[in-house]
Amino acid sequence: MDALSIINKYYSENNDCKDILITHSKSVADKAIQIANNHPELNLDKDFLYEAAMLHDIGIIFTNASGIYCFGESPYICHGILGAEILRKEGYPKHALVCERHTGAGITMQNIIDNNLPIPHRDMLPLSLEEQVICFADKFFSKTKLQNEKTVEKARKSLLKFGDDGIERFDRWCREFL
């Protein structure tokens, strides 16, 4: 599979949204591979890490996030579910799980219910080590300050809105992956 060919299928035009997606995803993929290289004992699937990291945000095009040139109809919080739908349709169910489980440090069903989020009522927590590494790597890069890697403290701060359990997962990942 070539992640770029799937991106090109859904982002046919060269525009700011596509540039942001590719730049952000490449940064996340590079960090995920760096983690894998630094932790050979984890036996991470580097090919999957790279592909899934490149595709984890493919659903942003269908969201309304004008700050990153996305002019779809869905709220941004839906980008993971929308991306998962794309990748399941393309025949990549494992990659789809990364899409739907990477938001925040994963989102519990209780957090979805408590915050009345417009996504399915189920736990969306990264389970496999690869899912966890991509979710973790993603926290270090925004789509508005491309290629500027956040410090651990800034990445941690960005998770505050997702609740204490997300902070606890992130802190555990810091101990395991850094």
CATH number of 14-177: 1.10.3210
Q: How far apart are CA 173 and CA 178, in angstroms?
A: 8
What are the pLDDT digits (tens) for 120-164?
Answer: 999 999 999 999 999 999 999 999 999 899 999 999 999 987 778
The one-letter code for the residue type at 80 is G
Q: What angle do CA 70, 25, 104 make, to 5 degrees?
A: 75
Element (H, E) at 112: helix 109-114
Question: Across residues 29-38, what is the average pLDDT?
Answer: 98
Q: What is residue 106's three-state secondary structure?
A: strand
Nearest to residue 77, comparing CAs of 109, 47, 42, 102?
102
What is residue 69's predicted lDDT score, i.e. its pLDDT?
95
Structure token pair of residue 113:
């219910």
Q: What is the mean pLDDT of the chain?
A: 95
CA distances from 160 to 53, 80, 122 (A): 23, 19, 20
pTM score:
0.96
Nearest to residue 86, comparing CAs of 7, 178, 176?
7
What is residue 13's predicted lDDT score, i.e. its pLDDT?
84
- Banded pLDDT at 1 (limits 50, 70, 90): low
